[in-house]
Structure 1
Amino acid sequence: MTTRRLVLTRSAAVIGAASSGLLLPQLVQAQSNKVRVGFMLPYTGTFAQLGVAIENGFRMALNEQGGKLGGREVEFFKVDDESNPAKGIENAQRLVQRDRVDVLVGTVHSGVQMGIHRVARDTGVLSLIPNAGVHAATRALCAPNVFRTSFTNSQPTLALGKAMVERGHKKAVWITWNYAAGEEAYEGFEQSYTAAGGTIVKKLGLPFPNVEFQALLTEIAALKPDAVACFFAGGGAAKFLRDFHAAGLHKTIQLYGSGFLTEGVLEAAGEAANGVLTTMHYSDSLDTPRNKKFRLEYAKAFKMQPDVYAVQGYDTGLLLVQGANKVKGDLSNKKDLYAALEGAVIDSPRGKWTMSKAHNPVQDIYLRKVDNKENKVIGIAQKAVADPATGCKMA
């Protein structure tokens, strides 16, 4: 812990000096032999816990290497992105131009991610995405220096349709917020469900972040589908689960969702979440030696339990470690570095995964069922799910 505090203190001192315009030439020179890693994550507001979990996981992966990347010491720089898309470009430029980071790690919010993405494409800085699932980053706007370690918004739902039809649920209603993440999740669901022989009776939506579900639940009751599939997350997901249950729909209609429906909200949802089925690339309850070891070590290091965001941060660190080791710490050797990242096999707590040509994980998606406030894995919904990478042409 002493070493970690020292690193944080030194980072804070450098950041403080830089923001005051006092970053002296000799200080820059003294730091030049270190790999400069910039975190652009939410540290305040709704997504603050997610940002902390991602950073914790990333640091844990590096700590397993003695805190080094390819044998080089690491200097950390941090910017709170505030989950504010309007500040995305400005904040990313601070890390790249002011702090001269070699690697930019971020972020959670897809709108903010697009700001980072623009700076990454303009400057060529290595950009590692530990969460945001926005399609464009690894589709039409894919880039050689941008790698994602999490998911695309449609990846969990690409595995959902077949699981639903196999359980006899052939007529479904889809419901989500009318915003980009919801639309992208629907893309995966529509493709997988219709391909498996299912029929989408109706697609319902409401403005983000509206949580007045009653009128739509009444419409669902009248439609009498076999199942409802959805994309909601956070507090809105907990409210939807409670309202769906309170309306009595759970008695006759099976509820499914992208895994974010039940991720981190089971306490708030209570018994209303019981029996809900979701597809996701990770589960706390994944019964493997690799996951158990990770969860134990994370809990020891940070005095809290890890979640999917911690795993994604950890895997981001594992990916960078592989690349840096391959080029012996010379991150300026971009050709060999990118080749190493593209060819990486990540031995993750979620299960081993590889990197697609568009720089997105090819990974197993699990089918999970909520039982007593736990997302329990009941099988693999689909193995080696890859995003279609529509429109990606690497320069």
Structure 2
Amino acid sequence: MRDRAMPISRRGFAALAAAGALGGVARPVIAQGAPLRVGLMLPFSGTFAALGENIAAAIELHIQERGGRFGGRQLQLIRLDDESNPANAVQNVNRLVGRDRAEVLIGTVHSGVVMALVQVSRERGIPLIIPNAGNQAATGELCAPSIFRSSFSNWQPAYGMGLWLSRNGVKRAAWVTWDYAAGNESGEGFRQGLAAGGAELVRELKLPFPETNFQPLLAQIPGLNLDAVGSFFAGGGAVQFVREYAAAGLKDRIPLCGSGFLTEGTLQGQGAAAEGIKTSLHYGDGIDTPKNRSFREAFKARTGRDADVYAVQGYDAAQMLAAGLDGVRGNLDAEREFSRAIRSARIDSPRGPFSLSASHNPIQNMWLREAKGGENKVIGIAAESLADPGTGCRMA
């Protein structure tokens, strides 16, 4: 499989072609007894630097817990800053698997950048574990035996939120987001979650990414006769949207909710405007299990920072890699057995135990969270053991 290109759908090929061609990439030839070279292609500068650092630190934490070896192989991490720049993605992947001879890839945060990683994994069979990017295609139409995700699909958190609303009295809701892949894929999940409980998505209100002129959208909401407003925004856009939603007098009239990234890492900037907002995500504050407590303590001791969803996704990427390598005693030439070992593993995650779907996306609880006192407190389960449908996935 590593030396045979796998077929790419027409739509998927167009997405990958936009990033450029990965010419000249070949499987690295590494002596079996040598350290396993793991390429970490993550943002270590720019807007998403904190996310990349938490993912990397959590990977290092689990390697340390395992005494530096998975499947009997010592691990060597190769860090590469992808700057969250899709224009440089092909060059960066070529560097990792060419010059740096990475045998395994872990990356990345940005959905546009991850497409180059997906392509090289499909074409050469180099194992790829995605510790954040939620674009549907990676575990949908572009799925492959060598591609795994330790995070989420964009569909999952929003579906969980829609499902919970529909089961708790909401009949009519709107969706507000940026008009780009993450917002649109989340919106489809929200619509399906609402429909599963008999509720209706009556309007989608969008603006181009990354614009933040929310006033024309907010002005339409009062006339729609809504029970709730769902939303996907992240980072600075989420801070501004939540504050302006409250300032428009909507907060106490029509509950605002959404995919967990609406309030993940943004509560300090949102302040009182976020208080009471409910979101759905695969991790949250206050999960009271021995695994989560020990993980948070160890991460804090190692980094001086509190763990977040990005740290959890990095930690579990390392756990998945360990499961695969343990299953083949460190021999990556046993490709099918490596893939099968990860696919059949039950990962003891801080978020709660999970396994993988047929398309290699986590089957996991979508926790219901409420913003309280600067924390996203887990108050229940929005959708239990939720599997992404993996639409279009035809595993070779």
- Supply the distance in 2 between the matched residues of 1:201 and 1:135 (Cα, whole angstroms): 24
Is contact 2:177–2:206 with CA below 8 Å preserved after alignment?
A: yes
User: What count of residue pairs does the alignment treat as equivalent?
Assistant: 368
The aligned counterpart of 2:260 is 259
Is contact 2:33–2:73 with CA below 8 Å preserved after alignment?
A: no
CA-CA distance at 1:352 after TM superposition: 0.3
- Supply the distance in 1 between the matched residues of 2:49 and 2:68 (Cα, whole angstroms): 24
The aligned counterpart of 2:177 is 176
- Supply the distance in 2 between the matched residues of 1:335 and 1:100 (Cα, whole angstroms): 21
The aligned counterpart of 1:97 is 98
The aligned counterpart of 2:315 is 314
CA-CA distance at 1:126 after TM superposition: 0.6
The aligned counterpart of 1:148 is 149
Alignment of 1:298-309 (within 5 A): 298-309=299-310
Specify the code of the residue in structure 1 equivalent to 2:162. Answer: G
Is contact 1:89–1:119 with CA below 8 Å preserved after alignment?
A: no
- Supply the distance in 1 between the matched residues of 2:186 and 2:270 (Cα, whole angstroms): 22
- Supply the distance in 1 between the matched residues of 2:374 and 2:168 (Cα, whole angstroms): 23
The aligned counterpart of 1:362 is 363
- Supply the distance in 2 between the matched residues of 1:123 and 1:162 (Cα, whole angstroms): 39
The aligned counterpart of 1:70 is 71
Specify the code of the residue in structure 2 equivalent to 1:205. Answer: K
Using the TM superposition, name which of 343-352 and 79-88 deviates more.
79-88
CA-CA distance at 1:97 after TM superposition: 1.3
Q: Residues 342 and 30 (structure 1 numbering): CA distance in 2 closer, same or farther, change over 3 Å?
A: closer
- Supply the distance in 2 between the matched residues of 1:207 and 1:126 (Cα, whole angstroms): 34
Per-residue CA deviations over 1:284-317 (Å, capped at 9, x if unaligned) read 3212221111101110111111100000000000
Is contact 1:284–1:308 with CA below 8 Å preserved after alignment?
A: no
CA-CA distance at 1:32 after TM superposition: 6.2
Specify the code of the residue in structure 2 equivalent to 1:128. Answer: I
SS in 2 for 1:251: coil
Q: What TM-score results when the alignment is normalised by the length of structure 1?
A: 0.91
The aligned counterpart of 2:237 is 236
- Supply the distance in 2 between the matched residues of 1:282 and 1:29 (Cα, whole angstroms): 37
Is contact 2:38–2:106 with CA below 8 Å preserved after alignment?
A: yes
Superposition misfits of 4+ residues, deviation over 3 angstroms:
28-32
CA-CA distance at 1:222 after TM superposition: 2.6
The aligned counterpart of 2:51 is 50
The aligned counterpart of 2:343 is 342
- Supply the distance in 2 between the matched residues of 1:189 and 1:183 (Cα, whole angstroms): 10
Query: Does residue 217 in structure 1 map to residue 218 in structure 2?
Result: yes
**Structure 1, unpaired ranges of 5+:** 1-27
Q: Residues 200 and 321 (structure 1 numbering): CA distance in 2 closer, same or farther, change over 3 Å?
A: same
CA-CA distance at 1:151 after TM superposition: 0.3
- Supply the distance in 1 between the matched residues of 2:243 and 2:143 (Cα, whole angstroms): 39
Q: Residues 72 and 42 (structure 1 numbering): CA distance in 2 closer, same or farther, change over 3 Å?
A: same
Q: What TM-score results when the alignment is normalised by the length of structure 2?
A: 0.91
Per-residue CA deviations over 1:152-179 (Å, capped at 9, x if unaligned) read 0011112112211233221111110000
Query: Does residue 272 in structure 1 map to residue 273 in structure 2?
Result: yes
Specify the code of the residue in structure 1 equivalent to 2:366. Answer: I
The aligned counterpart of 1:14 is none
- Supply the distance in 2 between the matched residues of 1:276 and 1:29 (Cα, whole angstroms): 51
- Supply the distance in 2 between the matched residues of 1:51 and 1:143 (Cα, whole angstroms): 24
Per-residue CA deviations over 1:69-106 (Å, capped at 9, x if unaligned) read 11221111111111011111111111011111111000
The aligned counterpart of 1:120 is 121
SS in 2 for 1:345: coil
Is contact 2:325–2:332 with CA below 8 Å preserved after alignment?
A: yes
Using the TM superposition, name which of 361-370 and 192-201 deviates more.
192-201
Is contact 1:89–1:118 with CA below 8 Å preserved after alignment?
A: no
CA-CA distance at 1:270 after TM superposition: 0.4
Query: Does residue 283 in structure 1 map to residue 308 in structure 2?
Result: no
- Supply the distance in 2 between the matched residues of 1:30 and 1:116 (Cα, whole angstroms): 24
Query: Does residue 131 in structure 1 map to residue 162 in structure 2?
Result: no
The aligned counterpart of 1:21 is none
Q: Residues 172 and 63 (structure 1 numbering): CA distance in 2 closer, same or farther, change over 3 Å?
A: same
SS in 2 for 1:357: coil
The aligned counterpart of 1:24 is none
**Coordinate RMSD, CA, aligned:** 1.4
- Supply the distance in 2 between the matched residues of 1:275 and 1:284 (Cα, whole angstroms): 14
Q: Residues 339 and 29 (structure 1 numbering): CA distance in 2 closer, same or farther, change over 3 Å?
A: closer
The aligned counterpart of 2:329 is 328
Q: Residues 29 and 120 (structure 1 numbering): CA distance in 2 closer, same or farther, change over 3 Å?
A: closer
